[in-house]
Structure 1
Amino acid sequence: MSATPLLSSTTPSSSAVSSPRMSLGDEDKCTPLLGAAASKEHYTAALPPLPATTKRPSTRRLLSPRALAAFVVIAVALGCGLYAARSSLAVPPAAAAYVDSLHGMFETTQRPATLVEQMHEPPSTPLESGGIFVQDAAEGNHTVTAILIHGLGDSGDGRPFIWSMPQEFPWVRWVAPTSDYLNVTVREGKKTRAWFDIHTFEDVYEDEDVKGYVHSQQQLNRLIDEERQRMVTAGKEPRIVLMGFSQGGAMTLLSTLTARSENRIEAAIVLSTYLPMIEELDEVFSPAARDTPILWMHGREDPFLSLENAELGVSRLSTPPINLSRLTFKTYEGLMHTWTNEELDDVADWFEANVPERRQHSAQDAFHTLSPAEHEQEKHDAEEKMEVKWFKAEAEVPARRRWRRSMVPRSLRRHSRRRVGPKRLLTGGVLPGQFSF
């Protein structure tokens, strides 16, 4: 019995090979037919079949016209299904739920509006036109519009400030709006005229009605914009003054402190009130109100809105980051939650000093109207400043650019914007110390 040779001179079968294909070493040792004399058919037959592979769709195929057309058809079908689910058509509950889930998947999320953005949105329900009382200027041509905001349980026709002031200021147009009816907690839930709800007088900051603040602010902002537009249409400078008592004083402060720079309030007067949203003030405060003159008057014996709350609000407005520069605070001995003739006389004196019939314009005045010559000069100065700024920038850029380029070899700089193989990067003719300075 002859011994079996270790190496067979014939080509092994596919089952004798453990790997899917024979290695080069096995091929050289096992078959003498490999080489120039081997036929392609014989060599291929000696190999096992290659494993099946799945061809992945390329990005080009996904963006082909057929794929895009299919995507459009699917999108249209989903849109029709969504419309059917939202309309009065009879759709099975399961199909409607499925369409709603798809709608939620594709619905884009939007950033919620901030408090100050909500205040400047249009109101859902404007102020009642029949509740806005107007006293035109005695001279017939007003230069200032004063908006008077009443307190809790009052209405626009109360007009406490108008009783004596129109004769003293014949250039002022007086406008007194009326709030909506609300179920007020401190009035045992009864409906009464109010700008917002109050839960308790002992602590006015307990569970503040921020929603009521925002809604009333939207209504007042619309009224302010209408009065401002009335003056602009007449070719006048829009000058708006706000006055308020109690709840009206709180809304006056809120309107003044949140007014945008283009709608800045001329001046504000508040009586027997408090500062609303004291904790959120940093969020809603407008820097344009920092130089607005504000007069705050309060009775020392006020049983509803205490003097302590008023002093807390004044302290908040007088210190950083608010730091109002023209805030005046005055108290009255023995005065309760009401007003007196002495107080109204002080209001008239302050009004005359801070809201003149004709504004004395200055270069720093935000409402300063430039003449054509002044406008051209200001434009020329701005262009010169811009040219100087660009000149400095051009002088600084080359130095920075030279510093950055000096840190990179020239050959690497040459190929910085295209793909270069690692061999090219390593042997690109760069010698040690060959840098560009």
Structure 2
Amino acid sequence: MARTFILWLHGLGDSGPANEFIQTEFKSHKFKNTSYLQQPLSSSFCADGAVMRSWFDVPELPFKVGSPIDESSVLEAAKNVHAIIDQEIAEGTNPENVFICGLSQGGSLTLASVLFYPKTLGGGAVLSGWVPFSSSVISQFPEEAKKTPILWSHGTDDRMVLFEAGQAALLFLKEAGVTGEFKSYPGLGHSISNKELMYIESWIKRRLKRSSSTCLHLNCLKEMFHSG
């Protein structure tokens, strides 16, 4: 049977183990062995230099439309994710059975990792994230990457990454020629809801190759990134 690789990227200051509750929310037996990629401790600018888990520098929080971004930091982090995807594909996984999911900062890294990857992947799910670069980079997206579907989930009461920042992503994806689906969750703040996870689960299952639908293998690589 073909296998499927699902990579979950946590948010700023969070950790892989702290997100493991998600596996109890996925109801399908296919998602029972889920674990999560974790970023080692590093310095984050938005936290006044405090040491916390961070994929890239975030100059300002709460994040809103027009907030400053550090594109070079984001693109460097995406290269590390690409190395993990490359390894999985080299081991035999079909690129279209590779899914990247992420919350908040991890969601923004998900978007960058998917749109700059040279192959079409199964999909990218962004939860409460933001677009971490300007529209000037659209010309750099590989044509195959633009075929990867994006699911964007955002709570209307998010006070850390404002709902308007999530909505702006739809315009960005349309301009880039990327298929995007936007799901709003009334009353939800900067967190994950069971309803949100249930939809992500069904969204992934609908996109799995038929050959892998009865044998889903979820992988996790912890402490893969190294600072310095």
Return the TM-score normalized by structure 2. Answer: 0.82
Aligned to 1:296: 152
Letter in 2 for 1:298: H
Distance in 2 of aligned mates of 1:254 and 1:230? 23
Letter in 1 for 2:84: L
1:192 aligns with 2:49: no
Distance in 1 of aligned mates of 2:158 and 2:211? 36
- Percent identity of paired positions between Structure 1 and Structure 2: 25
Distance in 2 of aligned mates of 1:215 and 1:192? 18
Task: Give the 3 Å change call, closer, same or farther, for CA 203–153 of structure 1 in structure 2.
Answer: closer
Aligned with residue 339 of structure 1, among 192, 196, 211? 192
1:247 aligns with 2:101: no
Task: Give the 3 Å change call, closer, same or farther, for CA 328–337 of structure 1 in structure 2.
Answer: same
RMSD in angstroms over aligned alpha carbons? 2.4
Letter in 2 for 1:240: V
Matched ranges for 1:205-284 at <5 A: 206-231=67-92, 237-238=94-95, 239-260=97-118, 263-284=119-140
2:155–2:184 contact (8 Å) kept in structure 1: yes
Distance in 2 of aligned mates of 1:275 and 1:357? 32
Listed one character per residue, the Cα deviations across residues 363-404 of structure 1 (whole Å, up to 9, x for unaligned) are xxxxxxxxxxxxxxxxxxxxxxxxxxxxxxxxxxxxxxxxxx
Letter in 2 for 1:159: N
Letter in 2 for 1:195: W
1:179–1:194 contact (8 Å) kept in structure 2: yes
Structure with higher RCO (Cα < 8 A, 6+ apart): 2
Secondary structure at 2:88 match in 1: helix
Return the TM-score normalized by structure 1. Answer: 0.45
How many residues get paired? 210
Gaps of 5+ in 1: 1-140, 361-437
Structure 1 residue 222 displacement after superposition: 0.9
2:101–2:107 contact (8 Å) kept in structure 1: yes
Distance in 2 of aligned mates of 1:280 and 1:181? 31
Task: Give the 3 Å change call, closer, same or farther, for CA 356–169 of structure 1 in structure 2.
Answer: farther
Distance in 1 of aligned mates of 2:33 and 2:115? 22
Aligned to 1:154: 14
Listed one character per residue, the Cα deviations across residues 64-83 of structure 1 (whole Å, up to 9, x for unaligned) are xxxxxxxxxxxxxxxxxxxx
Gaps of 5+ in 2: 214-228
2:59–2:68 contact (8 Å) kept in structure 1: yes
Q: Which has the higher helix share?
A: 1
Structure 1 residue 298 displacement after superposition: 0.3
Runs of 4 or more consecutive aligned structure 1 residues displaced over 6 Å after TM superposition: none
Task: Give the 3 Å change call, closer, same or farther, for CA 173–288 of structure 1 in structure 2.
Answer: farther
